[in-house]
Amino acid sequence: MNPVRHSEDKEIAISKEKTCQYPYMSNGMKWSKKGCVLILAATIAAIALRLPLLEQRPMHGDEAVHADKFGDLLEKSFYRYNRYEYHGPTLNYLTLIPARLSSAEKLTDVSEFTLRIVPVFFGVCLVLLLLLLADGLGRTAAVCAAVLTTISPAMVFYSRYYIQEMLLVCFTFGAITCGYRYTRSKNITWALLTGVFLGLAHATKETFIIAFDSMLLALVLTLLLRSRRDGSGGFIKAVRAVKPSHFIAVVAAAVVVSALFYSSFLTNPNGILDSVRTYATYFDRARQNQLHIHPWHYYLKMLIYSRYAAGPVWSEALIVLLAVTGFIVAMTSPALRKGWTRKGLSGADFHLLRFIAFYTLIMTVLYSVIRYKTPWCLLGFLHGMILLAGVGAVAVIKLAPNVLARAFISLLLVAGGVHLTWQAYSGSYKFYADTRNPYVYAHPTTDVFTIAQRVEEMARAHPDGYEIPIQVICPEDDYWPLPWYFRSFPRVGWWNKVDENVPAAPIIIASTSVEVELTNKLYELTPPEERQMYLFLFDKPYYVWLRPKVKLLGLVRKDLWDRLQRQTQSIQPQTAGEK
């Protein structure tokens, strides 16, 4: 008998003996009551950190674009996958659930809460799914991972973002957990669920291919390492252990789920082919797009240390350092782990830990190598780091030489957790639109609320109310997220340049870059008998910031301004009399 293999088998046997006292479910899934309660408590904490004030932060341009696409689905029951833009369809279709529950029939009935509750739900599910992986990570490590998922500033911040990233991370993790459950039970139900999650991930975002390739390569490396260590052809045995019918079930479930979404539930068969053709578009964009080009260390620097101007220090270095520790633990030899078992590190499936370690490392490298970077893309490998960090947290405590050292390390971990929680709260509720927050990226300022408020005031004074004509003029169509805030105004014209042949509207919102052309149109090129006087819509300095470095000028026709002033003056005496 191979002594190394015997050591691993003995370790697993010890683990089973220690877990048999706990209640268990079918398919070999053993749950500790205490661990279950702690993960559920972390889930409640995750809800508390993610759910409040979802309407507080201005809509990001990407969020507004997705909301606009959802509006077509809600109002017209129409959705067509676009292989050039907007990503996959799951976000749109899943948003129908909270929209219908809130009785929304038009986009004007939909609020930021209705949209953002979708990523909140899947951000919370990341914590809850750890129940399925507790016997693989180790019960204590699973609880630590649940806590870190709950309080990670990036996880909290982007769980409140109406984009696809949190859904993609959740579906990918769902495939990993269900795949692991299948390896433990060989039950076809888990195989089918693995396929369903893979199909959902593929139908969510094109970057699924990075996660899938990372999973596949990590699985191969894990099996090869197992084969090399036991010396008995373990790789071939592992492959042959999967029933062909179960493998077909995984593939079939993934294909069916993905095809249903991409085909708009069989109304657009071309969407299935487009889901494959799209990769040519995104590979080309990753090479050529200069707008989001960043150095290889962009993500790691953001996680380890960020500070802008006089803002606070942002760091998830605790997670990164613990993840490195967890990686080392996963890669240690069975002979070394034999000594650790006596120190409380038993209970984990080291084949799973190696898989997660390889998966996380590969994902981190791939996303770092790709020059096209946006901060929310780090969530995929950050989640892998969090899983490893749970293992690392247990290791640094259990391997401490004495009680005093363990107490000191535990205190440091608690302090680090408090700092992460403070960052999570501050990032989402204080610096939610502040450029000093590293997770705020090309984000609109709170001035968009001023724009919406002033336009609504003018609309109430106009005879046509919300039917008032409005012109928005921004080169390169750089006006998002204003379509979201103007969704109640059906007569908004969107222009990327000043058109001298189009009559000026009562309200004009324009980029300051076209101010000269707009002034010429209003006063130089308009005949005197048709000329109207315009006033500034906003208070001094007469412009607002759409985003940093993007200024907007607002103009309102004088007769409309005067009408609003008369209405305001007529209301004030009545209010005084009532008092």
Q: How far apart are CA 92 and CA 70, in angstroms?
A: 5
Position 10 pLDDT exceeds 50: no
Alpha helix positions (H), 289-349: 298-304, 317-331, 334-340
Mean pLDDT of 395-413: 92
**For residue 22, how many other CB atoms are within 10 A of its CB?**
15
> Domain for residue 512, yes or no?
yes
Query: DSSP per residue over 23-37, as a string?
Result: -B-STT-B--HHHHH
What is the pLDDT, as a whole number, of residue 378?
97
> Domain for residue 436, yes or no?
no
205 close to 168: Cβ distance less than 8 angstroms? yes
Q: How far apart are CA 79 and CA 104, in angstroms?
A: 17
Q: Which residues pair with 37 in a beta bridge?
A: none
546 close to 448: Cβ distance less than 8 angstroms? yes
The pair of three-digit structure tokens given for residue 53, joined into one six-digit string: 């004030």
What is the pLDDT, as a whole number, of residue 35?
85
- Residue 4: pLDDT band (50, 70, 90) is very low
Position 337 pLDDT exceeds 70: no
- Residue 392: pLDDT band (50, 70, 90) is very high
- Candidates 503, 505, 444, 454; CA nearest to 479 is 444
- Residue 334: pLDDT band (50, 70, 90) is low
What is the pLDDT, as a whole number, of residue 46?
98
**For residue 34, how many other CB atoms are within 10 A of its CB?**
12
> Domain for residue 438, yes or no?
no
Q: Do residues 180 and 269 both lie within one domain?
A: yes
What is residue 294's three-state secondary structure?
coil
Q: Which residues pair with 544 in a beta bridge?
A: 552
Position 315 pLDDT exceeds 70: yes
* Rama region for 21: left / alpha / beta (φ>0; ψ in -120 to 50; rest): alpha
Q: Do residues 63 and 173 both lie within one domain?
A: yes
> Domain for residue 191, yes or no?
yes
Q: Do residues 382 and 465 both lie within one domain?
A: no
Mean pLDDT of 142-169: 97
Mean pLDDT of 337-357: 74
Point out the least confidently predicted range of 24-28, 155-159, 220-224. 24-28
Name the CA radius of gyration of the chain, rounded.
28
Position 347 pLDDT exceeds 80: no
Q: Do residues 113 and 25 both lie within one domain?
A: yes
Position 573 pLDDT exceeds 60: no
**pLDDT tens-digit series, residues 230-270:** 655 555 566 667 889 999 999 999 999 999 999 999 999 99
Q: Do residues 562 and 507 both lie within one domain?
A: yes
Query: DSSP per residue over 418-430, as a string?
Result: HHHHHHHHHHHHT
What is the pLDDT, as a whole number, of residue 574?
52
Mean pLDDT of 116-128: 98
| Percent of all residues in the chain with a pLDDT value above 70, rounded to a whole number | 87
> Domain for residue 440, yes or no?
no
Position 290 pLDDT exceeds 90: no
Instruction: Name the DSSP class of 1.
Output: -
Position 359 pLDDT exceeds 60: yes
Q: Do residues 499 and 394 both lie within one domain?
A: no
Q: Report phi then psi at 507, rounded to 5.
A: -125, 130
CA dist 94 → 101, 203, 256 (Å): 12, 12, 17
Higher pLDDT, 390 or 293: 390
Domain boundary, last residue among 429, 460, 480:
429
- Residue 567: pLDDT band (50, 70, 90) is confident
Position 579 pLDDT exceeds 50: no
Higher pLDDT, 291 or 223: 223
> Domain for residue 442, yes or no?
no
What is the pLDDT, as a whole number, of residue 21?
36
Q: Please name the amino acid found at residue 169.
A: V
Q: Do residues 384 and 482 both lie within one domain?
A: no
What is the pLDDT, as a whole number, of residue 339?
56
CA dist 180 → 25, 208, 219 (Å): 15, 19, 11
Q: Do residues 309 and 382 both lie within one domain?
A: yes
Q: Do residues 297 and 388 both lie within one domain?
A: yes
Position 576 pLDDT exceeds 50: no
Q: Do residues 120 and 163 both lie within one domain?
A: yes
- Count up the domains in the chain and report the number: 2
Range of the domain at 267: 3-429
Q: How far apart are CA 353 and CA 365, in angstroms?
A: 18
Q: Do residues 397 and 497 both lie within one domain?
A: no
Q: How far apart are CA 305 and CA 317, in angstroms?
A: 7
What is the pLDDT, as a whole number, of residue 230?
60
Mean pLDDT of 170-184: 95
> Domain for residue 435, yes or no?
no
Mean pLDDT of 31-46: 90
- Candidates 332, 319, 339, 323; CA nearest to 399 is 339
Give the total residue count for the chain.
579
Domain boundary, last residue among 363, 395, 429:
429
The pair of three-digit structure tokens given for residue 192, joined into one six-digit string: 């089918």
- Helix, strand, coil percentages, rounded to 5, for the chain: 65, 5, 30
What is the pLDDT, as a whole number, of residue 30?
61
Q: How far apart are CA 539 and CA 123, in angstroms?
A: 40
> Domain for residue 373, yes or no?
yes
What is the pLDDT, as a whole number, of residue 255?
97
Higher pLDDT, 350 or 287: 350
Mean pLDDT of 59-67: 96
Mean pLDDT of 115-140: 95
What is the pLDDT, as a whole number, of residue 335?
57
**pLDDT tens-digit series, residues 481-518:** 999 999 999 999 999 999 988 999 999 999 999 999 99
**pLDDT tens-digit series, residues 17-31:** 344 333 334 445 566
70 close to 111: Cβ distance less than 8 angstroms? no
Round the average pLDDT of the chain to a whole number and report it.
89
Position 70 pLDDT exceeds 80: yes
Q: Please name the amino acid found at residue 143.
A: V
- Residue 524: pLDDT band (50, 70, 90) is confident
380 close to 209: Cβ distance less than 8 angstroms? no
**For residue 418, how many other CB atoms are within 10 A of its CB?**
11
Q: How far apart are CA 557 and CA 164, in angstroms?
A: 41
The pair of three-digit structure tokens given for residue 19, joined into one six-digit string: 């877990």
Q: Do residues 527 and 496 both lie within one domain?
A: yes
What is the pLDDT, as a whole number, of residue 549?
87
